[in-house]
Every structure is written in structure tokens, then in C-alpha cells.
Amino acid sequence: MAGHSKWATTKHKKAAIDAKRGKLFAKLVKNVEVAARTGGGDPEGNPTLYDAIQKAKKNSVPNDNIDRAVKRGSGAEGGGAEYHTIMYEGYAPGGVAVLIECLTDNRNRAAAEVRTALTRNGGQLADPGSVSYMFSRKGVVVVPKTDGLAEDDVLMAVLDAGAEEVHDQGETFEVHSEATDLVAVRTALQDAGHDYDSAEASFIPSVEVPLDEDGARKVFRLLDALEDSDDVQNVWSNCDVPDEVLEKLDA
């Protein structure tokens, strides 16, 4: 029975990972389609589309799916939906602030799903402006730590392009800049021969809320519920979870 139970658990985990992967693919493809609709279908002349395609490729989205999304977005192929970007603000347990970016073709459905995910997991919707002031819109480029790449190497490559700071995140470096300098920073990295995992505008919290194991578990449950929605594209929070707490949760 133990073997069967272990197999069932493994199978369940694999199904959950596959489902998350499927949802991630769908969100990345949607991102590509919207970028193509907003700025045209040529990645060379549309940096937002270029970065959306790169992110999709880095996450192993098949090229056919990416190409079709570009065609739908640019109008070269029918079937594209009219997506709207909507920002919601809320609180997770422990007073953690949450920003939720939806990309949806149905505003009512998106609002209902966000409200349900929050209230079922100990959170609540907040009035517009009551949470967003705690975050700044920044350009964030994630650079993998390849052999011998040091923080100074990254800093030297991006300093003149408008980068503000480089953070060592363990397995990666994170380069922060003004959102308007994102493309210049990403281009400077490429010119210096450094690979990058993603380049996108993000929201960085100015104040963080430290969490213990119990608090982190509750907040992560809420964040997972939000990201489970097909309409939710990105979720940002100001929770600060120490490495030792993360290790306990992973175990």
C-alpha cells in the first residue's frame, strides 16, 4: 500500500505541475498576443513583444504557439480576443499588501475570481490607491549566474544604460532600473554577451512585511489561489520570507 500511496502522490504532484505549466504557457502566449496587438508584430521594432517572446521561449513554449499568438495579435490571423489590463489591490493575511494584474476578455469574471481567491484565503480587496503607493514601477532584468559571472561584471555592463542597482538572489542577479530604461539595460547586457532569463516591468515594494512559517504558508496559499486564475497575469506582494522559513516550507 505504501508504494501505491507514494505513486498516487507522485502522480498527483506531476498532474499539478503539468496543470501549472499549462496555465503558465497560456499566460505567456496571451502576453505575446497583447504585445503584438499593442505595438505591431515585428519584434525588432516592438521591444515589449521581443521580451514577451524571449520569456515564452525561455519557459519552453513551443515556437508554433508563439508564432500563432503574434499573428493573432497583429491581425495577420483571425481569432484574437480583446484583452483588457485591470489592476486590483488587496491584502493577504498578516497585513501583506498584494497587487494583482489581470489580462482578461471578461472584466466581471476577473473581478469575481480575484475577490473569491482573496476572501477564501483570509484576504480582502482594497480600495484603489490604498496599496499601490507602497510599490514602485521598475524595470527588472533577471540574469542567470553562469560560470564565473560576478556581480561587478553585471554592474559594469548596465551602469551607463540607466541601471540603479544589482541584487544577488542566489542563483540569479536581478537588475533594477526605471521602467523606461528597461530596454536599454537589457540591450546593454546582450551587447556585453550576458544571457538573461527575463526582462519586464515589475512592481517593487518600498516596505516589506516579514513573515514566520505560519504566516508565509497562509500568504503563499492565497498567492497560489490568485495565480491559479486564467485571468490573473501577475501578482506582486510585499512579503519578506527568510531563507530558513522557505526551506521549512519546501520540506
Residue 15's pLDDT is what?
A: 53
The string of pLDDT tens digits covering residues 153-187 is 999 999 999 999 999 888 889 999 999 999 999 99
Q: What is the pTM of this model?
A: 0.84
Residue 69's pLDDT is what?
A: 94
The string of pLDDT tens digits covering residues 121-158 is 999 999 999 999 999 999 999 999 987 899 999 999 99
Rg of the chain (C-alpha set): 19
Residue position matching grid coordinates 498576443: 33
Q: Which of 13-22, 42-51, 172-181 has the lowest mean pLDDT?
A: 13-22
List the 232-237 sheet strands across, edge first: 124-126, 84-92, 96-104, 232-237
